[in-house]
A and B are shown apart, each in its own frame.
Chain A
């Protein structure tokens, strides 16, 4: 007999009620915070709704056609790819090095591990505002230092404008985002490293492998599955992120750091064109689904035990 949801007499039915009680709050939360906005975005993307407009008017694929013809959008898509690929390369290399270093035992390792986590733990806006000052056009600390290094021959009155020149601005945004994501990726890799049995690198040492061979032929290949996971998270977090861009450059100069999420925000929320903003943000879904699918498949294949 199936468990009767109505009766409260048996331990089984109490367990059933407990299960429902545990499950639904989480379910409702996910639906309200992710499901509802997503559904709304889909509904908006096929309409001509603007802030303040009344009623719903279905326009089909109109919005998608229009953004595909928009140079601003294509530029943002291109910038998003540069932003994602650039920062992920830096994050992968950086976090692998950091994880390998922090895995070794040394005096003060606990403190270093804690400090390393700060960029991730601190609120993004505070970190990014700090960087805004570091990269400021007049008060940049970096420029202050660079000007005082004689061999660089920097023009004191015309130092690099970190956030004011297209190429430098993109580089700055990438570096700051890398700084933010590095701790997360490092922690994932540290967990992965500690899962590698100690005797495998030891066996490699006895077999005669030196530092580099042990690193590139044993440690890193064994880390690949977990690197893959770290990279997948990194790509999702980067491709959908607009905080760093919003605080540092607002997409400028000349849209050179405008990424898809920030464009969606500027168009849909600040510009009031809800339907086009929704269409722009929906554009990210298929791209991310394909990336996630490919990477999870690769992770399955390279699985090691």
Chain B
């Protein structure tokens, strides 16, 4: 187990262009599950590939377990990586796939069998050892890839969107398995994803990346409840946070906090007129679409997320009184879009 550290890590693919990764400073904790979260093109995969040694940084430093590995080849870094496509060796059986890192790292031959059995037992794929990758389902391939990564007990685990090739149902169970797997092996893990649900569910901490820059590092609760800027605020959470531009700042609140005014006690709430347009029924909740009726908000579109147990019906086009608890209002500077100090608002 080891700590991964990056210092001023930058990658520029084409001279003169904006860097894919810009001045990233990160330190994992021992045994931590760290998630890189960002939209496509945010540099999260490039960052991971630099840590793996598949990409050479333009500048900056990478340390693994205190050792400078910036210019070491991947094989000298003692890391394991699971690729988005799993990158199983198609011509080798599952057994040989899992044993490959052992052979490559010159682990004595007598230990291979026992280690492969240990890794495949951990992931429940003992029965697949004689098969070829093409005879496996998506979920089985993912487990083989994980077994191949864990078999030589690496110091760091790198996972590049390992769940994105699975169908939605399998993804949830595979996510849970990954969680339990990490709880058992407790290896420092860096996980790349564009799926905020995965990031929140798996990460001890989440690194939110945008355009090659770290926007925020924090626990899932911190990045969700206290977003550092409007990008983090809107990227996490579905539907996204409502943002209402004001003269000096931007006021934000999450859809689940925009509720009919009667549900919030009068001394805690900030009320507004909700011009209801239409709704989506999602079973456990309803998503209400509409806009703010007051003129000075320029009919700004807002979304409310109402638990289904709240029984209320709204006629399309009607104006209803909605409210947000005062402590759930987040303020952002209008110019920099960074988090700003809260102030008193009265919109009525």
Contacts and interface: CB of A to CB of B under 8 A. Distances in A.
Contacts of B105: 207-208
Given A205-B54, A205-B74, A207-B148, A213 B104 contact: yes
A168 to B, nearest CB: 41
A199 B75 contact: no
Contacts, number: 66
B91 A222 contact: yes
Query: What is the interface residue range for chain B against chain A?
Result: 20 to 34
A207 B91 contact: no
B134 A207 contact: no
Contacts of A218: 89
A206 B90 contact: no
Contact of B101 (A202, A208, A221, A224): A208
Contacts of B74: 202, 205-206
B259 interface: no
Interface in B44-73: 52-54, 73
Chain A interface, >50% SS class? helix
Given A199-B85, A210-B75, A204 B134 contact: no
Interface in A172-228: 197, 199-200, 202-210, 213, 217-218, 221-222, 224
A95 to B, nearest CB: 20
B89 A199 contact: no
A305 B75 CA distance: 26
B100 A204 contact: yes
A203 B160 CA distance: 12
A53 B85 CA distance: 69
A1 interface: no
Nearest to A224: B91
A203 B83 CA distance: 8
Contact of B90 (A205, A209, A213, A305): A305
Contacts of A210: 75, 104
Contact of B87 (A200, A213, A302, A304): A200
A200 B85 CA distance: 9
Contacts of B103: 213
B83 A199 contact: yes
B81 interface: yes
Contacts of B53: 205-206
B79 interface: yes
Contacts of B100: 204, 207, 209, 217
Interface in B162-221: none
A181 to B, nearest CB: 26
Contact of A206 (B54, B85, B88): B54
A305 B73 contact: no
B89 A206 contact: no
A259 B343 CA distance: 95
B83, B104, B148 — which one has the most chain A CB atoms within 10 A of its CB?
Answer: B104
A206 B81 contact: yes
Interface of A: 197, 199-200, 202-210, 213, 217-218, 221-222, 224, 302, 304-305
